[in-house]
Amino acid sequence: MGLVVEGTALGAPQGSHPEPWVVGSNHSQAGGGHGSSISGIQIVTFKWHHVEAPYLIALWILVAGVSKMVVELNHSLTSVIPESALLICIGWILGGIIYGADKVQTFSLTPTVFFFYLLPQVILDAGYFMPNKLFFSNMGAILVYAVIGTCWNAATVGLSLWGCWLGGAMGDIDIGLLQFLLFGSLIAAVDPVAVIAVFEEVHVNEVLFIMVFGESLLNDGVTVVLFNVFDAFVSLGGAEIDAVEIIKGIISFFVVAFGGSLVGIIFALLISLLTRCTKNIQIIEPGFIFVLGYLSYLTAEMLSLSAILSIVFCGICCQKYINANMDERSVTTVRYVMKVIANGSETIIFVFLGISAIDPAIWVWNTGFILLTLLFIFVFRFIGVFLLTWILNKYRLVPLEFIDQVVMSYGGLRGAVAYGLVAMLDENKFNEKNLMVSTTLIVVYFTVMLQGITMKPLVTWLKVKRAAVTELTLAEKIQNRTFDHMLVAIEDISGQIGHNYMRDKWHNFEERWLCWFLMKPSARKSRDYIFNIFHQLNLKDAISYVKEGERRGSLAFVRNETKADVDFNKKFRANFSEIMPDIMADNMGPDHVPLSSILQDIVPSVCLDMHELDLKMRESEDFNAHHLLQQHLYRGRKQHRHRYSRSHLETNKDENEVQEIFERTMRSRLESFKSAKMGVAPAKKIQTKHQKKDKPQKMPNGNSTDKSKNHPYGDKDFEFSEGDSASGGEAAGGSFPMRAYRAEAGIVNPAFMAEMDPMDNMQQMQQIPHAALLPQTLTSFDP
């Protein structure tokens, strides 16, 4: 991007103060003894200049954080006015205070700081949390909007302004066509930071969001090229421009865009490969992600390619593999740190956008220029979006509705990137730089504040389809998977190469080659999507089970009588009743369990009827409640209990513990079979069958504890940057009553289901009715 280094960092003051590193002799009271005569040993000295730069930086970060806190104090205010607008206002106030104190602008948002230290993490966050499936399925449309839309905006705004200038609407300013085009190109781009900030309050439907958001990210390729090309043209002067230069400009677009993406993809590969080998240094694993992401940004910048595209694709491509490869805690760390620094940077950006305005030196007011700019970007945005959508809808399977188009046009917000670019202009080449800066600031304020405030009411008024808040049920997720396969199959049958066919082919390729290359072997095993969903649900149930037990205050987890005896298949009960009529009665001795509770086991569960067992526990002396607890709840210990929370899922990473529990229960089950005395041979058959079946089950079980935590928007699990896990909590709470009854479906589940196939066991059951019916329940009846 050809930055002009301004020479001062964020915190360093401009102008009036001397260089911080030179402690001159005019500072008599401080200065650590350089140069000035020392009159005696000073016990304490005030060494301001010693710490000035880092102190100011840290102080500003603190101020930004406190502003955010102040803004969020009143929730009713933030629901009307977007946070970004309020932060800008606070920036104004702060800027006013500083100006009042110093009479000159000492702090402002400099391009260096913005582009090197504040923007990369926001974009990395965007890329890392990008819902890939949604993004790539709409990629065509996004690219059309990003490339053609931005070029259209740049051209029309620039040319219209030029036309108006020729017509004399702006009075007398020293500017030319090329400068207008340059201005148009930097003001045309939709800004990702602003889009995130505004759209996160307004939960529009996912397709709409991904369109605007994707466009804001991908248009950097175009913006960079246009900016550089027109900057070069302005330097060359109008006379030097000929067809060759224009062609070079067009070629540079492709090079910059694809080159930038390629750099990002290469770094994504590096990150994935690296995380594959970091098993022994899990504690610093997360650091690699950030460092390599930042390096991808800088590398692209170094090669004059599109840095934003690079870091976006780095985040997009690596998310799946690093989530699979890294330890669960590292994944959580990466997610949270990413959010912290992205949010922090966003806050600082907006505060400083406000502060930068408080400087009379930069303000040049030209009514015509400013008003016309506002008008043109607004109008041409609408025209551009509608035109492109009309063309796109002919080719899209699901056309974009009119209302969505309106919101998309209205959501074309300009932000800090435009300001950064305009601040980078050279005053010597651009005589009207201050005018452009002022105009850009006003445009940014207009879009972020006015359009931000009115976005939510507009969306509500137009009845735009909103994002689904509730989590998908397991059934829906299964159906989604079925759809994918079904659509591929129909495309195959009808003989067409379609979208689904391509996606399927890519999927196969990726599974065969990329996952083999980039994922750890252990991660590869537990990749299956539906199993992961199931696994997550089991974990949630286990957690809510623990919570419920804690809530009742009892370690024994006594449950209420009205358990839902959701017996799916009457057939089983009927079959059992024919074979074993004597067991149907409920009042048996201590070591018999009623049939009804056994049939609950059709739903996979480790131990079913805790209450009845509890009673029996008290009856039989040798029963050990602690033993029961140990079997069915792996982390009964205090220090782990309170760490379970709805917002972050801490899985049971202790494979050894799971295995140990499993082995213990297996052992007890074997013993119970031996004690059944129903004939050695059939009993042995069941044992070996269980052993054989369960042992291989252990592997995926134990290792599947580290799984990918994906937040695919396509599965309606999208988490906006603020993390609305609260809504996830409520949704779970609502379905709790049913979940509790499956709550024992813990991690060991699939293994215990090995023998619960009544159909298979039918034959054995006829011979060993008694023992076979008591597979799981007998675990607790360990004499």
Site for other proteins in 719-748 (CB under 8 A): 735, 737-738, 742, 745
Give residues with Cβ within 8 angstroms of 420, minimum separation 6: 109, 111, 114, 115, 119
| Apex 432 CA angle, 440 and 179, nearest 5 | 80
Torsion of CA 370, 91, 153, 164, to 10 degrees: 10
Q: Is 463 in the site for other proteins (CB under 8 A)?
A: no
Which DSSP state fits 591? Answer: T
Q: Which residues from 211-230 bind other proteins, rule CB under 8 A?
A: none
Q: How many residues bind other proteins (CB under 8 A)?
A: 73
Q: Is residue 701 within 8 Å of residue 654, measured between CB atoms?
A: no
Q: Which x/- pattern over 470-499 shows residues binding other proteins (rule: CB under 8 A)?
A: x-xxxxx-xxxxxx-xxxxxxxxxxxxxxx
Q: Which x/- pattern over 388-407 shows residues binding other proteins (rule: CB under 8 A)?
A: -----x---xxx--------
Question: Rounded CA gap, 167 and 173, in Å?
Answer: 12
Q: Minimal distance in Å, beta carbon 701 to other proteins?
A: 9
Q: Minimal distance in Å, beta carbon 496 to other proteins?
A: 6
Considering the complex, state which of residue 119 and residue 740 has its C-beta at the smaller distance from other proteins. Answer: 740
Interface stretch with other proteins, choices 111-119, 253-261, 272-280, 754-762 (CB under 8 A): 754-762
Q: Minimal distance in Å, beta carbon 745 to other proteins?
A: 7
Q: Minimal distance in Å, beta carbon 133 to other proteins?
A: 12
Q: Minimal distance in Å, beta carbon 260 to other proteins?
A: 31
Q: Which residues from 68-107 bind other proteins, rule CB under 8 A?
A: none
Q: What are phi and psi of 359, to 5 degrees?
A: -155, 100
Q: Which residues from 244-303 bind other proteins, rule CB under 8 A?
A: none
Considering the complex, state which of residue 55 and residue 402 has its C-beta at the smaller distance from other proteins. Answer: 402
Q: Which residues from 624-683 bind other proteins, rule CB under 8 A?
A: none
Q: Minimal distance in Å, beta carbon 552 to other proteins?
A: 19
- Listed in sequence order, the DSSP H helices in 189-242 are 192-199, 206-236
Q: Which two tokens stand for residue 743?
A: 């709550």
Q: Minimal distance in Å, beta carbon 529 to other proteins?
A: 9
CA–centroid distance for 669 within its chain: 44
What are 204's strand-pairing partners? 466
Considering the complex, state which of residue 96 and residue 498 has its C-beta at the smaller distance from other proteins. Answer: 498
Considering the complex, state which of residue 602 and residue 670 has its C-beta at the smaller distance from other proteins. Answer: 602
DSSP readout, 69-136? HHHTT-HHHHHHS-HHHHHHHHHHHHHHHHHHHHSS------HHIIIIIIHHHHHHHHHHT--HHHHH
Q: Is 500 in the site for other proteins (CB under 8 A)?
A: yes
Question: Rounded CA gap, 653 and 324, in Å?
Answer: 14
Q: Minimal distance in Å, beta carbon 486 to other proteins?
A: 6
Considering the complex, state which of residue 103 and residue 394 has its C-beta at the smaller distance from other proteins. Answer: 394
Q: Tell me, what amino acid is at 19? A: E
Q: Tell me, what amino acid is at 716? A: K
Q: Is residue 114 within 8 Å of residue 416, measured between CB atoms?
A: yes
Q: Which residues from 397-456 bind other proteins, rule CB under 8 A?
A: 397-399
Q: Which residues from 506-545 bind other proteins, rule CB under 8 A?
A: 508, 525, 527-528, 530-531, 533-534, 537
Q: What are phi and psi of 204, to 5 degrees?
A: -80, 170
The residue from 249, 594, 700, 723 that contacts other proteins (CB under 8 A) is 700
Q: Which residues from 545-604 bind other proteins, rule CB under 8 A?
A: 562-570, 596, 602-604
Q: Is residue 271 within 8 Å of residue 289, measured between CB atoms?
A: yes
Considering the complex, state which of residue 227 and residue 752 has its C-beta at the smaller distance from other proteins. Answer: 752
